[in-house]
Structure 1
């Protein structure tokens, strides 16, 4: 029996006994369960299996310590009310916030963090890691670590923008449909049913095949962005103006100007192929947001204070802005996090298929495809961007779970 095995079981059993002595029931069950699992795996897989269990347990312990420290840091810098909420956050939510914070810092400061450019060739193909390349090189000799950092900016930025557009269109339509009802509610609901009946990946492939290629240019992107902005803005104008002709004229005039500015700003930030990808994602997922918003707002619309506001003569926009939306915020914020996960995974999947973010732009999904050959040689390099995708998705879900728990009104 090796020294590692003796020390491993000694530490586990000693920690289990200390937890039992100090009446820490949860810690004792966790440690002794790990001891029993390690005993079985040690018999089956030997020392190698125990090393894997030790590494996994060490990573979990390290993650728990990082999550605890980050939560305490947020409590210190937060306001009094926010600190009170953060104290109730489980370690899983704190770990999720830490991962989101890390990805955000990597994306924002990518040019300063990455040692090389995202498309800069600095070595031979599939060169191993050395003092200059932390993760080695890809199939063209580009630094994997630098592309991973830039991928955080590109992939997450597109997913976030697609989620914002989908959520803006779907939430506005859902709030207006729940408040107005009638033919408008039926038309929007049936349209969303048609879009949702088509599988997301198939619909995305169809739209990208239509608007990709030669149509992926500045002119097409500008018109598509303007049309999307006008469609979304018409929902606001209809809620604000209602039957006022002058209100409609003023609203449409302002709307056209805002739509043109929005389209121009988006063309500065993203290239045409990325804009088409974002718009396709927004169209695919806005019906999901619409259904949830309509259901949540429908439960609020029937409340007595809404009827009282109607009897006072309040308009639709006032009801949405001051009465319905504040009472629907918690589930909508949680839904935003879930939608981001869906959009993020769809964009990564499309990039893996070669229809998402186009090279040489760094993207986590395309990085998996580009380096997949290394898996045949036992190299785990392609699994690194895949692990980044999985880690961010799990982290966002951790935070969303906590927010859903808080919004449900349950108490620990």
Structure 2
């Protein structure tokens, strides 16, 4: 087994990877195997219990819960992945510039990062949505901006450590440009802490996007989304508990799988690495 897949040798890594594969299959293939439309009522009364035509019953509009469950994973995973990827583009740029420059750029960037970290994440995102409007682009950008400061601090710390090593100093002595030194010498050697951090960042993206969708400020009706399903049906949980429990379970299973894989990767790298700057979406 290659070094990159070494984490699969651990029980937690194998279980977590299996969970992720299963959830991804549901998200990708679910809409194609859903028995009914995810957005249209199926002709049954709202909150009908499980039946042959609707194995998980119907929701508050008489739509099939199973069909919405099978179709609701793409938005959760896709938006979280896009937000996390954009956050890393911004965080890597800031962290590498601050850690490698060793000039006035470093304190200026880090003071800006400290100011950004002072804002409660969910409050910042809600204010941004209120000002710019509710859209997928605003949601992804907002989550990325929230996470970029924490990522930049981790990247800066790792860059400072790597920049003092002999192979980096040798590259500088050879007259290589800063961009070449960063891309060839620094970036590959800080990939381990960045990779470990990515799992937690992805989990955070899932939870905060789910929080916004739960509040009805993210994806708009009739979009099928696991968090939105919870928000739409929570007031009627006594009528059909599966309409709330099923999507909540999918979000929980996804986050557990990501955390198990992230922990296994950290252990396989032989380090106990706990990224800073990650806070609960409710903070």
- Identify the match of residue 357 of structure 1 among 215, 219, 240: 219
- With CA pairs under 8 Å and 6+ residues apart, which has the higher RCO, 1 or 2? 2
Structure-to-structure mapping, 1:225-374, within 5 angstroms: 273-374=135-236
Residue 384 of structure 1: how far off its partner (Å): 1.5
Matches of 1:359 and 1:198, distance apart in 2: 29
Distance 1:87 1:192, change over 3 A: closer
Matches of 1:396 and 1:274, distance apart in 2: 23
- Identify the match of residue 199 of structure 1 among 115, 120, 124: 120
Q: Secondary structure at the match of 1:191?
A: helix
Higher Rg: 1
Distance 1:409 1:277, change over 3 A: closer
Q: Deviation string for 1:15-47 (max 9, x for gaps)?
A: xxxxxxxxxxxxxxxxxxxxxxxxxxxxxxxxx
Q: Tell me what 1:132 maps to.
A: 53
Q: Tell me what 2:66 maps to.
A: 145
Q: Deviation string for 1:263-320 (max 9, x for gaps)?
A: xxxxxxxxxx111110111111111111111111111111122111111111111111
- Identify the match of residue 87 of structure 2 among 157, 161, 166: 166
Matches of 1:346 and 1:144, distance apart in 2: 23
- Identify the match of residue 129 of structure 2 among 193, 208, 227: 208
2:105 aligned with 1:184, yes or no? yes
Give the conservation status (yes or no) of the 8 Å contact 2:8–2:14.
no
Instruction: Give the aligned length.
Output: 271
Q: Secondary structure at the match of 2:72?
A: helix
Residue 86 of structure 1: how far off its partner (Å): 5.3
Give the conservation status (yes or no) of the 8 Å contact 2:7–2:265.
no
Matches of 1:312 and 1:205, distance apart in 2: 49
Alignment RMSD (CA, Å):
1.8
Q: Which runs of 5+ in 1 are unaligned?
A: 1-79, 217-272
Give the conservation status (yes or no) of the 8 Å contact 2:20–2:258.
yes
Matches of 1:121 and 1:338, distance apart in 2: 37
Give the conservation status (yes or no) of the 8 Å contact 1:147–1:362.
yes
Matches of 2:28 and 2:19, distance apart in 1: 14
Q: Tell me what 2:249 maps to.
A: 387
Q: Deviation string for 1:101-158 (max 9, x for gaps)?
A: 1121222223312222221210221111111212111101111111111111111101
Residue 82 of structure 1: how far off its partner (Å): 5.3
- Identify the match of residue 26 of structure 2 among 87, 94, 106: 106
> Under a length normalisation based on structure 1, what TM-score does the superposition of the two structures give?
0.63
Give the conservation status (yes or no) of the 8 Å contact 1:176–1:320.
no
Matches of 1:385 and 1:328, distance apart in 2: 36
Distance 1:408 1:115, change over 3 A: same
Q: Deviation string for 1:214-253 (max 9, x for gaps)?
A: xx5xxxxxxxxxxxxxxxxxxxxxxxxxxxxxxxxxxxxx
Matches of 1:149 and 1:168, distance apart in 2: 31
Matches of 1:335 and 1:407, distance apart in 2: 12
Distance 1:82 1:120, change over 3 A: farther
Residue 409 of structure 1: how far off its partner (Å): 5.4
Aligned structure 1 segments of 4 or more residues deviating by more than 4 angstroms: none
Matches of 2:9 and 2:109, distance apart in 1: 39
Q: Secondary structure at the match of 1:381?
A: helix
Matches of 1:195 and 1:333, distance apart in 2: 23
2:18 aligned with 1:156, yes or no? no
